[in-house]
């Protein structure tokens, strides 16, 4: 009889401790999930900043490249115009 009572008490204590462990596990899981959420948001913000900086640099280098093409295009155009005049004069007999 005494052993049966002790076994029942142990079973009740074990059941109660498992329930407490379950709550602790749930809370720990929530904290881990919240940490992943906050970490993901911080990574997203950092990525956004890097993206904006990259776009800014690309715009500046793109403008410089465009200006260089424009300048070389003008020089090439003048050279072709001059060569065209010389070729035209050669064929016209002047």
Q: Give the per-residue SS3 of the chain.
A: CHHHHHHHHHHHHHHHHHHHHHHHHHHHHHHHHHHHHHHHHHHHHHHHHHHHHHHHHHHHHHHHHHHHHHHHHHHHHHHHHHHHHHHHHHHHCC
Mean pLDDT of all residues in the chain? 76
pTM of the model: 0.35
Tell me the pLDDT tens digit for each residue of 23-67.
Answer: 666 677 777 777 777 777 887 788 888 888 888 888 888 888 888
Instruction: Tell me the Ramachandran region of residue 93: left when phi exceeds 0, alpha when psi lies from -120 to 50, beta otherwise.
Output: left
- In angstroms, the CA 58 to CA 19 distance is 58
């Amino acid at each position: 009889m005494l052993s049966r009572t002790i076994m029942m008490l142990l079973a009740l204590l074990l059941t109660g401790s498992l329930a407490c462990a379950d709550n602790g596990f749930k809370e720990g899981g929530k904290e881990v999930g919240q940490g992943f959420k906050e970490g993901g948001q911080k990574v997203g913000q950092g990525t956004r900043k890097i993206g904006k900086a990259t776009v800014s640099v690309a715009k500046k280098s793109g403008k410089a490249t465009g200006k260089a093409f424009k300048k070389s295009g003008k020089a090439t155009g003048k050279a072709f115009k001059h060569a065209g005049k010389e070729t035209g004069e050669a064929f016209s007999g002047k």
